[in-house]
Structure 1
Amino acid sequence: MNTNSSENSRDWASASDPGDTDQVAAYDAMRRRCPVAYSESHGWSVFRHADVRRILHDHETYSNLVSRHISVPNGMDPPEHATYRQIIEPYFNHDRMDAFEPTCRIVASELVVKNIHRGCAVEAMGALAKPFAARIQCAFLGWPLSLHETLVRWVDAHHDATRRADREVLAALACELDLLIEKQLRQRRDSKSKADSDLTAALMHERVDGRKLNNQEISSILRNWTVGEVGTISASIGILIHHLAVHPEHQTALRRDSSLLPAAIDEILRVHNPLHGNRRVTTCPVKLDKHSIAAGERIYLNWISANRDESVFEDAGTVKFDRDPKDNLLYGAGIHVCPGAPLARMEMRVFLQELFAHTQSFRFQPQATVVPATDPESGYASIPIHLQIET
């Protein structure tokens, strides 16, 4: 480890203080002052766009084997990664997204209409973002929609335990999720579900190296598709709602021309990423910035900072719908780029279309306080908004 690690640890600790409510500003400060920094909790954090992109494309030096638990396929390196990735990618192809979009639209519409009927004052994270993310994931997997509250509760509990570094609670939560997934698999085994029954059943019929995926592999995929998606999509919806409430001119432009939505969503989430970062581990000694880092060291890629790097994005903190998206790392880059990006993009587009369709506008509630999320979450914990509808 670099001899300056203790100094860097103090630098990083000051920027990641739990009391710091502006995570984005803290990461911006780190990128400018200490672009590669060490801490006990994260290992070596990398904040600059160029460094993050270089690491993403160098999977030989920076391995994705960061956990002792199997993680299919994002926690794998080549050639194993490619084998499993070929199984995963068809579930997010154009035809599947087109077929799933009407279901996504129904879920979004029902949620928005329900909250309009309750009154025009809503807390957007609890009433819209979280239930939408959980319900849509249940629908995508073919799970009962009644499980959505369980998934929201689980994700919230997991974030809280991670915040407190409570390993005992984290272990119990892992067992709880494993049991939930095993129940879904058992029900399909018992009923001899065919591959076309739903997505979960389809995974149970997938083959790798001439054999069916085993329970551990299927469970890993389903864990990634539940926990990861529910947390990320709910954070993304919150960030989008917050931005459009702060910038009514952007809300008006998107209401007038929905063709702007795909580019606008990616750009808004570039400025405030729904994920803090992603991990790697060094396979050999490396040099990052001024630091010599040994093999076997943890590397943390800070998405929020990298996507706001002024050396790459002019006026980086400003949302520009016509900005060239080629350097946007919202979904990563290289061989591990997020395979679920088409699903996420469709879900967010449809949600905003339905929110726009049922309202004239939305804004913050008078005298209400927006509460930022705290690490490990990004975005917002609470967004009190007022939905204006036609009278």
Structure 2
Amino acid sequence: MTTRTAHHAARALADPATYTDESALHAGLARLRAEAPVSWVDVPDYRPFWVISRHQDVMAIERANMTFTNWPRPVLFTEAADQLSEAGIIRTLIHMDDPQHRVVRAIAADWFGPKEMRAMRARIDELAHRFVDTMAAAGPECDFVREVAVNYPLYVILSLLGLPESDFPRMLTLTQELFGGDDAELQRGEALEDQTAALLDMFEYFNALTRARREHPTGDLASAIANARIDGEPLSDVETASYYAIIATAGHDTTSATIAGGLHALLQHPDQRERLRDDPGLLPSATEEMIRWVTPVKAFMRTAIVDTTVRGVPVAAGESLLLSYPSANRDEEIFVDPFRFDVGRSPNKHLAFGFGVHFCLGAALARLEVSSFFRELLPRLDAIEATGSAEYIATTFVGGLKHLPVRYSMRPRPGYPG
């Protein structure tokens, strides 16, 4: 039997608390890349898995989607949660492989394409104005995450779905309960049953939405999903609700984490903030650097369906692999000075949106939102500083900052009274 290399930094990735300390996390991942880039993890409550920490290997595995599949274990959850997932309680795009994945993904693909993004730009800019105004009105101090960053992307994605603004607070609570299930502050409860209840509450809402959109289509993304047909048949209730859920949650939490983490990076690197403010032409590269720096999706899982190797290490059929995106996005083999935040970084081959057939459906929308927000915010900031410690969500899947207290002074929007 081949000896499996284990490393304490790899074991730590099964602990949600690991992601609450960015400095320790990245120090551990750097050791992992240097000492055991393919490392075995076998810890209580989780099925064993390999940790893949090098950019080149993550890309190769994502590219080989017929060798390494999403199903049956797309996300690092406990063994009990894995069993619920395998029972079919939820069935999103991240749970699917080709050819089913390709067909189901196509239902919403055009809604995130160039034409729809051009149509959405006015709404995105309007909401950026609105939430920068909200920040100005809340001043001179606020918790940037709670009062601004979590709301702006939520309004964007739920507007695309076509949901009424009166429902947005409820959706915010549900999305945070789902992705904050490992965080004592955000979770509905500690038990798996509590987290499942949050998912079922969301599904109850979306099942009612499906019925409404099938009776009276309204030309929005929710209507497109509700009325989609594959081989002449509509999606099942689980498939339809799952589709809404992945768009509403992933389309919100990842972007809010990037905006909050992006501002935090600009606070920590005032020279880069001044550089970006003085040269708005850097916004596209700054957006990519914020996405790399934050890397909101911490990991996806893949399962080998045949015996294979990764970096010369034997991986048996049926074994799972964790693709560590924060590690890949600080890989010294790919990025020059990877621990330097550089708003002009080029090239920037980050993997925060994944790679290959599962490349993030909403990547273009996320880029638009981040760019629009900072295009509105930076010219209006006279001064800004942190007034307390930044706090991170405990997670093994999607996360970032949950608190960022700041003090600031802002000027009114040009053309508006102060």
TM-score (normalised: structure 1)? 0.90
Unmatched 5+ residue regions in structure 2? 74-85, 185-189, 412-417
What does residue range 36-75 of structure 1 map to in structure 2 within 5 Å? 36-39=38-41, 40=43, 41=46, 43-67=49-73, 68=86, 69=88, 71-75=91-95
Letter in 2 for 1:359: L
Query: In percent, how many aligned pairs have the same letter?
Result: 25
Structure 2 counterpart SS, 1:155: helix
Letter in 2 for 1:229: G
Native 8 Å contact 1:271 1:318 kept in 2 = no
Please state if 1:309 is matched with 2:315.
no
| Separation (CA, whole Å) in 2 of partners of 1:171 and 1:373 | 19
Please state if 1:81 is matched with 2:101.
yes
| Separation (CA, whole Å) in 1 of partners of 2:117 and 2:212 | 26
Structure 2 counterpart SS, 1:314: coil
Aligned to 1:132: 152
C-alpha spacing 1:2/1:276, structure 2 compared with 1 (3 Å): farther
Give the C-alpha shift of residue 72 in structure 1: 4.2
C-alpha spacing 1:207/1:231, structure 2 compared with 1 (3 Å): same
Letter in 2 for 1:51: D
Give the C-alpha shift of residue 35 in structure 1: 1.4
Give the C-alpha shift of residue 132 in structure 1: 1.3
Aligned to 2:81: none
C-alpha spacing 1:186/1:63, structure 2 compared with 1 (3 Å): same
Structure 2 counterpart SS, 1:278: strand
Give the C-alpha shift of residue 290 in structure 1: 5.5
| Separation (CA, whole Å) in 2 of partners of 1:11 and 1:252 | 36
Q: In the TM superposition, what whole-angstrom CA distance separates every residue of 1:98-147 from its partner, at most 9, and x where no partner exists?
A: 11122122222222212322222111110111111222221111111222
| Separation (CA, whole Å) in 1 of partners of 2:279 and 2:93 | 37
Please state if 1:283 is matched with 2:308.
no
Please state if 1:351 is matched with 2:373.
yes
Aligned to 1:320: 342
What does residue range 143-292 of structure 1 map to in structure 2 within 5 Å? 143-163=163-183, 166-190=191-215, 192-194=216-218, 196=219, 198-289=220-311, 291-292=313-314
| Separation (CA, whole Å) in 1 of partners of 2:374 and 2:10 | 36
Native 8 Å contact 1:15 1:30 kept in 2 = no
Unmatched 5+ residue regions in structure 1? none
| Separation (CA, whole Å) in 1 of partners of 2:240 and 2:2 | 39
Native 8 Å contact 2:286 2:345 kept in 1 = no
| Separation (CA, whole Å) in 1 of partners of 2:375 and 2:345 | 22
Of 398, 404, 415, 1:383 maps to 404
| Separation (CA, whole Å) in 1 of partners of 2:360 and 2:142 | 32
Give the C-alpha shift of residue 77 in structure 1: 1.9
Give the C-alpha shift of residue 32 in structure 1: 2.0
Letter in 2 for 1:193: P
Give the C-alpha shift of residue 361 in structure 1: 4.0
Letter in 1 for 2:334: V
C-alpha spacing 1:146/1:25, structure 2 compared with 1 (3 Å): farther
Q: In the TM superposition, what whole-angstrom CA distance separates every residue of 1:331-385 from its partner, at most 9, and x where no partner exists?
A: 11112111211111111111112222443343223xx222233323533221111
Please state if 1:297 is matched with 2:319.
yes
Letter in 1 for 2:324: N
Native 8 Å contact 1:24 1:305 kept in 2 = yes
| Separation (CA, whole Å) in 2 of partners of 1:24 and 1:381 | 19
| Separation (CA, whole Å) in 1 of partners of 2:179 and 2:113 | 31
Give the C-alpha shift of residue 57 in structure 1: 0.5
What does residue range 321-336 of structure 1 map to in structure 2 within 5 Å? 321-325=343-347, 327-336=349-358
Give the C-alpha shift of residue 15 in structure 1: 6.3
| Separation (CA, whole Å) in 2 of partners of 1:329 and 1:130 | 23
User: 169-178 or 351-360, which moves further after superposition?
Assistant: 351-360
Structure 1 counterpart SS, 2:281: helix
User: 105-114 or 52-61, which moves further after superposition?
Assistant: 105-114
| Separation (CA, whole Å) in 1 of partners of 2:137 and 2:240 | 40
Backbone CA RMSD of aligned residues: 2.4
Please state if 1:102 is matched with 2:108.
no
Native 8 Å contact 2:214 2:227 kept in 1 = no
Structure 1 counterpart SS, 2:109: helix
C-alpha spacing 1:30/1:71, structure 2 compared with 1 (3 Å): same
Native 8 Å contact 1:66 1:279 kept in 2 = no
| Separation (CA, whole Å) in 1 of partners of 2:61 and 2:217 | 42
Native 8 Å contact 1:267 1:325 kept in 2 = no
TM-score (normalised: structure 2)? 0.84
Structure 1 counterpart SS, 2:51: strand
Aligned to 1:12: 10
Structure 2 counterpart SS, 1:37: strand
Native 8 Å contact 1:62 1:282 kept in 2 = yes
Q: In the TM superposition, what whole-angstrom CA distance separates every residue of 1:66-86 from its partner, at most 9, and x where no partner exists?
A: 352363433322222222233
Structure 2 counterpart SS, 1:161: coil
| Separation (CA, whole Å) in 2 of partners of 1:24 and 1:129 | 24
